[in-house]
C-alpha cells in the first residue's frame, strides 16, 4: 500500500431534463476527453467555491456556490503516481451565461441518451447512470495509466 498524497478537486455537471453540458478538454489533465468542468481546490476556498470558479473559468457560466448540489465523491489513484485525487462532484441547472469555448474547454450539449462515453474517462459510464437518475454516489477507481481500471468500488449513498 502506497503512502498517497491527497489532493482535492471538483467536477461540475450542468444538466437539464434532456441534456448534459460537457467540455472537450483541450490541454492538461484529461486532455482529449469530454468531462464536466472542474479542477483543483485552492487554499482558502471551499469545494463549492472552487467548483463555481472553475465553471466560470472553463466555460464562462456563472452560478452561486450554494446552487451547486453535491451528488458524488470519487477517489482516483494511479499505479504511476502517489497522488490520491479526491474529486467532489456537483450539479446545477441554475446558472447565467452562455457556454463559451476557452483555452481549456470546448463546451457542447449532449442528449442524455447520447453521452460520448468512449471519449470520456472509463469510470464515467459506471457512475453517470447513478447521477442521471438523480441519486448520490461514492466510489474509488485505481488506474494503470489513464485507460485501464485495475480495481474499483462504487456505491449509491443516501446523503453526504
Ligand X SMILES: Nc1nc(SCCc2ccccc2)c2[nH]cnc2n1
CA-closest candidate to residue 120, choices 28, 4, 25? 25
Question: Is 67 or 152 the residue whose CB approaches ligand X more closely?
Answer: 152
Sketch the per residue contact string, 68 through 87, with ligand X: x for CB under 6 A, - otherwise: --------x----------x
Phi, psi of 7 (to 5 degrees): -125, 140
Tell whether residue 39 is a contact of ligand X (CB under 6 A): yes
Q: Does 121 bind ligand X (CB under 6 A)?
A: yes
- CA neighbor of 78 nearest in space, from 30, 145, 13: 145
Q: What DSSP element (H or E) covers 129?
A: helix 124-132
Element at 41 (helix H, strand E): none
Nearer to ligand X, 59 or 87 (CB): 87
Strand residues in 53-93 grouped as ranges (E):
69-78, 83-92
The reply to whether 124 sits near ligand X by the rule CB under 6 A is yes
Cell numbers that stand for 131 in this block: 447521477
List 20, 21, 38, 130, residue binding ligand X (CB under 6 A): 38
For ligand X, the closer of residues 95 and 104 by Cβ is 104
Q: Residues interacting with ligand X, by CB under 6 A?
A: 9, 11, 29-30, 35, 38-39, 76, 87, 121, 123-124
Amino acid at each position: 500500500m502506497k503512502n498517497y498524497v491527497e489532493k482535492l478537486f471538483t467536477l461540475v455537471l450542468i444538466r437539464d431534463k434532456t441534456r448534459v453540458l460537457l467540455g472537450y478538454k483541450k490541454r492538461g489533465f484529461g486532455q482529449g476527453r469530454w468531462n464536466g468542468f472542474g479542477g483543483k481546490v485552492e487554499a482558502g476556498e471551499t469545494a463549492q467555491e472552487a467548483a463555481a470558479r472553475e465553471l466560470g473559468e472553463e466555460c464562462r457560466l456563472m452560478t452561486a456556490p450554494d446552487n451547486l448540489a453535491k451528488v458524488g465523491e470519487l477517489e482516483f489513484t494511479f499505479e504511476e503516481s502517489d497522488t490520491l485525487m479526491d474529486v467532489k462532484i456537483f450539479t446545477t441547472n441554475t446558472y447565467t451565461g452562455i457556454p463559451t469555448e476557452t483555452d481549456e474547454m470546448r463546451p457542447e450539449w449532449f442528449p442524455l441518451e447520447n453521452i460520448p462515453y468512449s471519449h470520456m474517462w472509463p469510470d464515467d459510464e459506471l457512475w453517470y447512470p447513478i447521477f442521471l437518475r438523480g441519486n448520490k454516489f461514492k466510489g474509488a477507481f485505481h488506474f494503470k495509466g489513464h485507460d485501464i481500471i485495475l480495481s474499483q468500488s462504487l456505491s449509491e449513498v443516501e446523503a453526504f
